[in-house]
Structure 1
Amino acid sequence: MRTTRDFSEIDATMLAEVGGKAANLGELTLAGLPVPPGWALTTDAYRQVAAGLDLTPGDGLAARARRHLLQAPVPGPVREAIMAAYARLGADVPVAVRSSATAEDLPFASFAGQQDSFLNVVGGEAVLDAVRRCWASLWTDRAVAYRESNGIDHAAVRLAVVVQVMVDARVAGVMFTANPVTGRRRETVLDASPGLGEAVVSGAVNPDRFVVSGGEVRERHAGDKRLAVRPLPGGGVERVETAAGGLCLTDAQVLALAALGARVEDHYGAPQDTEWAIGPDGTLWLTQARPITTLHPVPEPAGPGLRVHLSLNVAQGVMGPFTPMGVSAFNLVSSGAAGVFGHAPADRLDGPAFLSEAGQRLWLDLTTPLRSRTGRAVLTRLMPLGEARAAAVVRELADDPRLSVVQNSRRPFLRGLRRFARRVHAPARVRDALLSPARALAYAARVGAELDGRLEPPPGATPAQRLDHAERLLGGTFPAIVSIMPIVITGYALLGLAARLSGTRVGDLQDVLRGVPHNPTTEMDLELWDLATRVEPEPFRDLPAAELARRYQAGELPPRAQQGLAAFLAKYGHRGVAEIDLGVPRWSDDPTHILGVLANYLRIDGDSDLAPAALFAKGARAAREEVDRVAALAARRGRWRGPVVRFALGRTRAYAGLRELPKFHLVRAIAAVRDSLRAVGEHLVRAGVLDDALDVYFLRLEEARAALTGGDLRDLVRERRAAYERESRRRHVPRIMLSDGTEPEALAGPAPEGALTGTAASAGTVTGVARVVLDPTGAHLEPGEILVCPSTDPGWTPLFLTAGGLVMEMGGAMSHGAVVAREYGIPAVVGVPDATRRVTTGQKITLDGSAGTVTP
């Protein structure tokens, strides 16, 4: 490897040799874009100086590494190469000396500002000293922490150094070729200030801001620009106070910069974060470009014009990515769902047209119903029940002229509804729900029993037959389980009738839904509590959950705990966190989470009012009292109304718990396919196609089938695992995204200072200590603490039994977390923006589940 390379010799493929910054500058130079001349000191020089660096983990790692790099001798050939390359730029020419790490300016991690840069460096010895300090900056505390948070191995990172001719900038700044706040693509945002760009990049100045779209300057905001960074004669820079008035760029300059940014984006094929400068003669220069790593990829549009995409992941409380096999499974399930309404796709493995993938997450295209008069009415009425914040965004989007109604006829909707009703025998289900609860509940049980008979592939099934079985089961499960929903819908419709007849609001009848029977999730939680009352307590009080799991899997837990947990997992082991993704482990694969919950339960006094069984019984009593109260209210409005309301609410309570049953059965089917595909993975390992049987979950179904004939997919799986890990660290997933990249929620102003408001989900007021939990696995929640989390699925609900209250960033009044919170009688507020960041663990907060407020 050469020690130095001119920008003209560098392209984007040379990351390992010259680091991210230099690779981008070389790529821009080769593309003919205006980059000040310069060269890169390659990672080989760093390797030589860093030889013998002690990378033993520990608190002193960063300081130890910096000391070594600042004191180790620079080999003679490296020193000579630096001096010669600098001299080629000119005699004592002022240069910028900038770090260029191999883990920097990447599509998934920018590392912006993590390593150091030195401006207006003059003279060979000064350049050599700046190079040393750049090397050492690879080991600043902030750079070490950033690598660790992004899962990047310290030992795998090397540092190159960029040496680039300084631009004596009259004006400089940064430019994003997509709006980094709203996500809108092709909307350029510029920050500019007089002097060197360091003032803007470091945040030391309040710059001017410009927004450009459609070839026009749409916004201009003048900053105070009270500070400028200027080069000093002989080297170094100074910060000087200024009194710059007005805007520092003309519209012509802003548009010229935006056009330059568009060229950069077109070259890379993705939005870019650039740094620029305008020289004394008005020349525009690019001094850096890197991907905007915070933007979420835009889903593929299903049709022309502006499209509206709802994140299925956010709606389901699965913030992480889907595995490739999980995407295949959901494509099959959703194809079955589309078929119920008469819109089955030509190829079920492709999924229906309304489902797309971006950022390894799934998205629903809402454009067609939003642009239909009937569809819009249905969306705006039903969405608040499951995703209140998304519903509010959709209501606002309805006013966007680009999304005006184009379908006024009700016929397409009614045709789909008729197909659905015919397919699931809705009239018969509704009749049974009204006239015979026993028959309705027996039907719901029969659906589960019939599914049981289809879960396993034929005995002795070949790998190909297992894949056939997976496609049949996943494609056919939804039409069967959704036939339960007319019963559930009847129950909730009767709740609405009772509210109308009694003169109350549906939202005021939450207590009716407490302690409802036939809910598989609450039944699961109560069975786990019952197990906690029977197991031997000693190991659970003394050992961490991981060790308890190891002992269980080795058969070494005390007898009652070993047998009881085995029985529980035989019934509920198909469940887990993010359970709708076929590729993620189930509790039966790894019981660490459940054992941690058991340990939490053992901290509760079984005779106290906080015991889950007592809470559930208390909720059922409160529900009966509420039915009596509402029936009495109705009777005052008319004698016949009282009995009708009592009848209606009795049916509501009988069927409300079934709401969780279709998903319960769907997850059983997904888990059964997961188990079956492991045998396919084992076959592919024996055939030399994969390294590990679990790698099969990083293939799609069609790829697994093709692999049965041979090949080598190990490199593909490694790439996908790495991409999955990167996406798992994504900190923000939009709830709704438009096809131009805009996140509509980001267009609204921030909530008032200190105000945390959301949707009332479960009545009651509680004051307690907050516990922010981002991942329920291994989470510890003291009895009475208020759980603050992004969202929930059934994998979270065992934590509810010890929670004093619930705050969620996502969800609506009928979302999973809200339903379970009501059933357990704990106050809950959902749809609270940024709750996990605005509330901290240990903070005392008051939660009002009736008003939908959280007060610090």
Structure 2
Amino acid sequence: MTMALRFSEIDAGSLAEVGGKAANLGELTRAGLPVPPGWVLTTEAYRQVAQGLDPSGDGLAERARRHLLEAPVPAAVHEAIVKSYTELGAELGGDVPVAVRSSATAEDLPYASFAGQQDTYLNVIGSEAVVDAVRRCWASLWTDRAVAYREANGIDHAAVRLAVVVQVMVDARVAGVMFTANPVTGRRREAVIDASPGLGEAVVSGAVNPDRFVVDGGRILERHAGDKRLSIRSVPGGGTERVETPYEGLCLTDDQVRALAELGARVEDHYGAPQDTEWALDEHGELWLTQARPITTLYPLPERTRPGLRVYFSVNVAQGVMGPITPMGRSAIRVISGGAAGMFGYGPADPRDGAPFLSVSGQRLWFDLTTAVRSRVGRALAPRMLTLGEARAVPVFEQLIGDPRLSLVQTSRRPALRALLRFARRIHAPSRALLALTRPAKALEYATGIGDRLDRRLQVPDSATPAQRIDHAERVLTHTFATIVSVMPMAVAGYGLFALASKLSGVPLSDMQDILRSLPNNPTTEMDLELWDLATRIEAEPFREQPVAELVRRYRAGELPPVAQREIAAFLRTYGHRGVAEIDLGVPRWSDEPAHILGVLANYLRMDGAADLAPPALFAKGAQEARAAIDRVAAAARRRGRWRAAVVRFGLRRTRQFAGLRELPKFYVVKTLAGIRRSMLKVGEHLVESGVLGSAPDVFFLGMEEVRAALGGGDLRQVVAERRAAYEQESRRRHVPRVLLSDGTEPEALASADSAAGALTGTPASAGTIKGVARVVLDPIGAHLEPGEILVCPSTDPGWTPLFLTAGGLVMEMGGAMSHGAVVAREYGIPAVVGVADATHRITTGQEIEVNGAAGTVTLM
């Protein structure tokens, strides 16, 4: 293989030979952009010197560095370095100063920049000095930080190789970095430039406070002068020095700023994606590009974007599912949304296309809220609804209302009222609400009977063909929503009577929260209490001693003690359709992977505590306190009139009966998805037999229409492998915006989130105050929570709630007063604050905190 290649000989397809940095420099050179000349020592040279290195085991980083620093440089590699450097100097007149920079094959990738993970050496002069710098670059592939970064991004150490870029140094008068999209707000085509006198290393390393400029379409929106007290300069004979250089004013003129932004736009146009670039301005005023790589932190733009500025709200954030959704999961939700939109009169011609307001970005689902932002009805209702479900989105929504690009265009209330009335008629809302008021037992019988009807509807004959199974799935997903949502008028009636009781009694809603504790008829609460009760019935061994993996093995082999084997199977027959991220049809259920449930049971059985602190006792106490609260509110109403007391008592009793049904539609939706999942696995088995897929679960990495097409044959194993890899990569994304604009802007990033000294603020969710030890949990599977610890998590869905039974309090980054976690926390009587920005980063496991669920504050002790 060739040891050295000029930039003009390489491009983006040369990644395996030259690494990410060099491939980009070659690409820029071939595109005619101003790149200082240079060459790259290929990965073949690294391979030769790294022979015998075992990229595994303890002490890997130190052992690998020592090997690369001490191993002799092969003669052919040494010759290639000296020859290429000499030829570069011959063109420019002698021993030319160069920058020697690492270029790894896992670097400057679309999803991981590896910025600063490997080393760069500046102003290197002389061939032997270049050889030494090359050796040190090789060793920098194994710095502790580079090893940790690869592990965090799931990159195999053994698969990584290092090339080394040798590039003519620009004797920079001014240098810095430029992002062609705003890396903080996400806004595309808004260039952000950091600049400082001297070499760009001062800006890249953070050694100086640079000047900052923000440019949009040739308009300079911001000019901020940094102190620029330090400059890094080349030293004659090689190397660099740091010099204190107080600098007054800005180091770039407006014309230079605009020229930089125009150059950045050319780079972005070439790659078709926003770029993080490094640049230098030489003593003659000429601009040079010294590096370009993708900006990996930007959240992807939504698909299906209509003309004009659009506003998107994250379905995932609202549902407490921070990870991506599988292709079939997205396909299923599209079909459901198409059927639901049809009930309002806005359904697509083909329900499989999904509702027109549903979009995808980052393999997650988003609602287009533009109509709500730009309509009078939407501006009135949306903030109220968001307050209940995702309170941190309310100030963002109000901020968007003031954006002149999102001015009011829909002033009439009639279209919204017509749609709402059409929906109310189709679910028989008036008669269902009346039934709840006058015949509660009959209403509850109807609500619980939906589950039996669903079970019958989900049955598919074993003889059904794969095509028939797909037809059945689409039919059920399209039409079942109407049946499931018919429960909601009863729950709404319960909450409506709750609000009426507040008005009649004069007691604020915030002082009536005890009435909502320990609600009956809530399937999630019933599931959690049943799981606790299950722990009291089964044999304690082997749960107290064996690891979860061994418990799973024994359960699947039928080798658990007899009571445990029988009772756990019975629990999973009733609740096995549930799971973490359960709105995604493609995600395994508890019945598929029982590790979470078995782990929770093991945690319960290892606890020692007083009987009066057991969840059933606390739940009974909560019900008693709810009855006392009803008496208290009724007494307050009586002081305003005897008839008021009677109405309040009647209304709050109905509230207790029907408010818990709020969780029932989600329970039924998940049951529906689980049933279709089982049927699609049968289709997957057929596709495996046909050679189309490698395993039955691979079917979830195809959409419904793709599965139908796959019945005709072909080989989709490579497609599935690529989608699995992309899904796993997207799963590692640490931040998902709750609101996103179609130009990439994350509005919440525009506002600062100041909080009181020593306290984090959020939305009050469940009254009470508790001091305790925090336990930060990002994934409930396998999580262990000691009794009384305060659970700190991004968000929750019902798959998390078994942890609530032993939690002393709850802190969530997402959610509002009526979000899932808040509702369950109130029912269990544990103090909770939701919508606390960056709680999982600002609080650490083991830290003592105080949660005030009434004030909405979390104090770090």
Which interval holds the TM-score relative to the shorter structure?
over 0.9
Between the aligned partners of 2:82 and 2:244, the Cα distance in structure 1 is 35
1:688 match: 691
Instruction: Please state how far the C-alpha of 1:392 moved relative to its aligned partner.
Output: 2.6
Between the aligned partners of 1:625 and 1:454, the Cα distance in structure 2 is 43
Between the aligned partners of 2:808 and 2:549, the Cα distance in structure 1 is 26
1:718 match: 721
Between the aligned partners of 1:152 and 1:247, the Cα distance in structure 2 is 42
1:699 match: 702
Change (3 A) 1:533 1:332: same
Instruction: Please state how far the C-alpha of 1:396 moved relative to its aligned partner.
Output: 2.1
Task: Check whether the contact 1:587–1:593 (CA below 8 A) recurs between aligned residues.
Answer: yes
Question: Which of 733, 736, 750 is equivalent to 1:733?
Answer: 736
Between the aligned partners of 1:382 and 1:201, the Cα distance in structure 2 is 44
Q: Does 1:66 align with 2:65?
A: yes
Task: Check whether the contact 1:18–1:42 (CA below 8 A) recurs between aligned residues.
Answer: yes
Between the aligned partners of 1:460 and 1:607, the Cα distance in structure 2 is 54
Task: Check whether the contact 1:302–1:354 (CA below 8 A) recurs between aligned residues.
Answer: no
Between the aligned partners of 2:273 and 2:350, the Cα distance in structure 1 is 30
Task: Check whether the contact 2:174–2:281 (CA below 8 A) recurs between aligned residues.
Answer: yes
1:29 match: 29
Matched letter for residue 83 of structure 1: V
Q: How many residues align?
A: 855
Between the aligned partners of 2:643 and 2:607, the Cα distance in structure 1 is 46
Between the aligned partners of 1:340 and 1:302, the Cα distance in structure 2 is 23
Matched letter for residue 481 of structure 2: F
Matched ranges for 1:796-835 at <5 A: 796-835=800-839
Q: Does 1:794 align with 2:793?
A: no
Between the aligned partners of 1:754 and 1:77, the Cα distance in structure 2 is 61
1:254-279 deviations in Å (ceiling 9; x for gaps): 11101111111111111111100001
2:190 match: 187
Instruction: Please state how far the C-alpha of 1:815 moved relative to its aligned partner.
Output: 0.2
Change (3 A) 1:472 1:606: farther
Between the aligned partners of 1:305 and 1:505, the Cα distance in structure 2 is 43
- Secondary structure at 2:175 match in 1: strand
Instruction: Please state how far the C-alpha of 1:378 moved relative to its aligned partner.
Output: 1.5
2:277 match: 274
Q: Does 1:582 align with 2:585?
A: yes
2:347 match: 344
Instruction: Please state how far the C-alpha of 1:338 moved relative to its aligned partner.
Output: 0.8
More deviation in 539-548 or 120-129?
539-548
Task: Check whether the contact 2:776–2:791 (CA below 8 A) recurs between aligned residues.
Answer: yes
1:148-176 deviations in Å (ceiling 9; x for gaps): 00000000111111100000001111111
Matched letter for residue 740 of structure 2: M
1:78 match: 77
Matched ranges for 1:193-212 at <5 A: 193-212=196-215
Matched letter for residue 158 of structure 1: R
Question: Which of 528, 551, 554 is equivalent to 2:531?
Answer: 528
More deviation in 267-276 or 456-465?
456-465
Scaled by the length of structure 1, the TM-score of the pair is 0.99
2:88 match: 89
Between the aligned partners of 1:610 and 1:401, the Cα distance in structure 2 is 55
Task: Check whether the contact 2:305–2:742 (CA below 8 A) recurs between aligned residues.
Answer: no
- Secondary structure at 1:538 match in 2: coil
Matched letter for residue 62 of structure 1: A
Instruction: Please state how far the C-alpha of 1:347 moved relative to its aligned partner.
Output: 2.2
Q: RMSD over aligned Cα, in angstroms?
A: 1.0
Instruction: Please state how far the C-alpha of 1:301 moved relative to its aligned partner.
Output: 5.1
Task: Check whether the contact 1:604–1:611 (CA below 8 A) recurs between aligned residues.
Answer: no
1:293-339 deviations in Å (ceiling 9; x for gaps): 01100113543221110011111110000111111111111111111
More deviation in 578-587 or 372-381?
372-381
More deviation in 66-75 or 357-366?
66-75
Matched letter for residue 613 of structure 2: L
Between the aligned partners of 1:3 and 1:509, the Cα distance in structure 2 is 76
Instruction: Please state how far the C-alpha of 1:550 moved relative to its aligned partner.
Output: 1.6
Question: Which of 835, 846, 850 is equivalent to 2:850?
Answer: 846
2:225 match: 222
Matched letter for residue 611 of structure 1: A
Matched letter for residue 823 of structure 2: V
Between the aligned partners of 1:363 and 1:471, the Cα distance in structure 2 is 21
Task: Check whether the contact 1:533–1:606 (CA below 8 A) recurs between aligned residues.
Answer: no
1:769 match: 773
Unaligned runs of 5+ in 1: none
1:515-556 deviations in Å (ceiling 9; x for gaps): 110000000000000000011112111122222112111111
Between the aligned partners of 1:705 and 1:509, the Cα distance in structure 2 is 52
1:494-513 deviations in Å (ceiling 9; x for gaps): 11111111112222211111
Task: Check whether the contact 1:771–1:840 (CA below 8 A) recurs between aligned residues.
Answer: yes
Matched letter for residue 55 of structure 2: L
Between the aligned partners of 1:443 and 1:200, the Cα distance in structure 2 is 67
2:440 match: 437
1:3 match: 3
1:357 match: 360
1:582-616 deviations in Å (ceiling 9; x for gaps): 11111111111111111221234465332110111
- Secondary structure at 1:300 match in 2: coil
Task: Check whether the contact 2:392–2:815 (CA below 8 A) recurs between aligned residues.
Answer: yes
Between the aligned partners of 2:808 and 2:218, the Cα distance in structure 1 is 54
Between the aligned partners of 1:622 and 1:5, the Cα distance in structure 2 is 78
Scaled by the length of structure 2, the TM-score of the pair is 0.98
Runs of 4+ in 1 over 4 A off after TM superposition: none
Instruction: Please state how far the C-alpha of 1:404 moved relative to its aligned partner.
Output: 1.8
Instruction: Please state how far the C-alpha of 1:787 moved relative to its aligned partner.
Output: 0.2
Unaligned runs of 5+ in 2: none
Instruction: Please state how far the C-alpha of 1:670 moved relative to its aligned partner.
Output: 0.5
Between the aligned partners of 1:771 and 1:411, the Cα distance in structure 2 is 49
- Secondary structure at 2:850 match in 1: strand
- Secondary structure at 1:812 match in 2: coil
Instruction: Please state how far the C-alpha of 1:34 moved relative to its aligned partner.
Output: 0.5
- Secondary structure at 1:796 match in 2: helix
More deviation in 111-120 or 344-353?
344-353
Instruction: Please state how far the C-alpha of 1:374 moved relative to its aligned partner.
Output: 1.1
